[in-house]
Structures are given as C-alpha cells and as structure tokens.
Amino acid sequence: MVVVSGAEKIDDIRKSTLEQLSLLDATIDFLQMNHTMGRNLCVDPYQVEVIRGALTRNIVTCFADVQDEIKAAFEDHIPMTEDWIEVSAYETILQIVCRASNRMFIGLPICRDPDYIKLNIDFTIDVFVFARIINLFPSILKPILGTLFTPRRRALAKMMKFLDQTIRERLHQENVHGKDWPGKPNDLLSWLLDATQGIKERRTIRDLSSRMLSLNLGAIHTTSMTFTTALYALATHPEYAEALRTEVESVIKEEGCTKVAMNKMNQLDSFLKEVQRVSGGVGAFGMRRVARSDFVFSDGTVIPAGSEIAVAALATNTDERNYENASEFRPWRFSDKRKEEGESIRHRLITPSLDFIFFGHGRSAWCV
C-alpha cells in the first residue's frame, strides 16, 4: 500500500477518474468480497448506483418512518425505568441501527424480526473478521477458505428464506399490474427491482438477497461505529450534553422531527465531526483506491497499475497545520467556524474537504 498525505495529493485522488483509481477494487480487496460476500456483487455492483440514486432521493420521503423505527427501537432496548440499568452500548446500537436501516430497506414487519436482525448483524461482523483472516493467505488458497470457512452461504440461505415470499409477491404484482402497481412499497427492495427491469439474472431471489445482505453491512457497520464513538465521547464529556439537548429541543420545536431540522442542528453536527476527527473513527487510513492504470500525481510521482493507495486519514485530521490545538477535543470547533462569513456549509460533517478525511472525496466519496 502507498500512503499519501497533503492537500495536493489528496486533491489529485479526488480529481481522478474511476478508470484511474477505483474505490470498488479497493473495497473488494479490503473485504475480500469475492470470498466473503459473493462474486456477483463485484462484477455487477449496480446496487451502488441504487444507493446514490433512488435511496438518496427518498431520504426525505422515508424520514418519518425511519424516525418512528428509531423511537420504537429505543423504547424496546433502552426502556424508561425508575432504577439504573446496564446497557451494552455497541450491541444496543447495532440493534437500533439495523432496525432503522431496514425500515427503509424492507419495511414492517420484517425489519423488527429478531432473527432477521441477528442475521444481518452477525453477517456484518463475520465479513470483517473473515476478511482479515483471508487477507493473510496467498491468493491460491482464498477461494477454498471462502467456500469452507466463511458463513456466506449459510447467511445467504437464511436471507433467501426471509425474502422469498416478499420478492415473489412483488414480482407477481409487477407482472399483473405493471411497474408502478397500486400499493407498491417505497423501500430499497422496490428500488433494486426497479433497477433490474429487463435483466433476468438480477431478478432472482438469490441475487436480490445477496444485495440486501451487502447493503445491510454498509449501513450497519459505519453508522454503528460512528454513533458508538459519539456516545462514548459524550460520556467522557457530559458537560456538553445540556447544550446539545437544548439545541435539539429548540430546533425540533421549530421544524418538527424532519430532515430540515437535522440540517439546522449545527452544534450536534460539529460535535459529531469533532468526535470523528479526534478519535480516528475512519481508522489510520482512508480514501482507499486501487490504481487501474499507472497514476501520476501532480508532482510527478508515479503509482504503478495494481497498487493500492490510501490517505493518512488520522494524521490529516490531527495535523496542527490544519487545526489549532489539533489534539484537543473542541466540540464547537466546526460550528464556530460556520458562523464566519461564507463558511456556513464548508464545515459540515458530510461536506468533503482536503483537511478532514471521513467520507472521502470525489464521485467515490465514502468512508471505507
């Protein structure tokens, strides 16, 4: 792996084309996707475009349902009691995130099925564990390890059982009433079916089930890690809880529980971004890419085809040249900057920048 740093090289990666530097190839290698998740996801990754397109467009439409599921999940897993109770933060957050994600992915009642939730959480954890193990072995042994030792086949078989009847019913309704049939659910499974019109091999229960498993992995892992890290930071710095609570209550009173309200929670956004900056939530490296052809940086440095490139994310996020007192946790660091003229958008958590590596950069912006 070639590790780079500095705004110039990060910007070179940002400006690269998909034919030059590939996030998909890097992700396939990092997660050993051919062996842990299935080859079909690697050779025909159309689900990525569904996420960028249909899912992103429908966030506002599905916001109320997701918020309802989060509320219900909190009531189930962190009930209000008169006495103190012990709650395992990460395990509880995994449950909540899985339910909230699948309210948008597949809807009720499947999103609340304990066995369905366990399947997706276990698969997510197993992929990362077995990817690390498989990466230790030479290429000739990887297919054997993937077939014999990973739980991919068992997980896929279980997912197919959960989705079999639902997929068959939706395909039947589509055949009888057309693509936009009455009562068609507005969820991820429907968007995947929309993207597979006329492509028979994409419309099998096996293939659609494997896509749902893989997208659950993406939703559960990153969101749970981010939420857990933020919760630990708040436990470490309880003095900031009141300010955050006041902002949230004030904005919700004005805008309701909506996506618009989320965009107005400047202190909360700043707190979450500062947590990721200081804690290294993305890990030591970010913006992983594989060079599909020789890649030349603007300073003349040549990266041979087939090489993996990554940005020194933690070093960038804690560089004193980028942040004053970079090692110090300042929760309002970014909300204060956004008060400056012309800076209202630049310092948001989801806004890519050359001095904050979390969601990456360019068309392939993603936190893997």
* Cβ 266 vs Cβ 66: under 8 Å: no
Residue 112 has pLDDT above 60, yes or no: yes
Q: What is the Cα 100 distance to its own chain's centre?
A: 13
Q: Kindly report which listed range (44-53, 164-173, 326-335, 351-360) carries the lowest average pLDDT score.
A: 351-360
What number of other Cβ atoms are within 10 A of residue 5's Cβ? 14
pLDDT for 223 beyond 70: yes
Percent pLDDT > 90 in the chain is 86
| CATH class name, domain 1-26+239-368 | mainly alpha
* pLDDT above 70 (res 362): no
Query: What is the tens place of the pLDDT at every residue in 240-255?
Result: 999 999 999 999 999 9
* Closest of 112, 116, 115 to residue 96, by C-alpha: 112
Whole-number pLDDT of residue 365: 53
Predicted confidence (pLDDT) at residue 152 exceeds the cutoff of 50: yes
pLDDT score for 364? 56
CA distance 268 to 271: 5
The secondary structure of 263-292 as a DSSP string is HT-HHHHHHHHHHHHHHTTT-SEEEEEEES
Q: 351 or 152, which is more confident? A: 152
> Is 90 exceeded by the pLDDT of residue 342?
no
Residue 90 has pLDDT above 50, yes or no: yes
Please report which confidence band the pLDDT of residue 360 belongs to, taking 50, 70 and 90 as the band edges.
low
- CA–CA gap between residue 16 and residue 22 (Å, rounded): 9
Residue with tokens 């994600």: 101
The proportion of the chain whose per-residue pLDDT surpasses 70, expressed as a percent, equals 97
User: Please, which residues have CB within 8 angstroms of residue 79's CB and are 6 or more apart in sequence?
Assistant: 85
- Give the residue extent of every domain in the chain: 1-26+239-368, 31-236
Residue 358 banded pLDDT, cuts 50, 70, 90:
confident
Residue with tokens 């068959």: 168
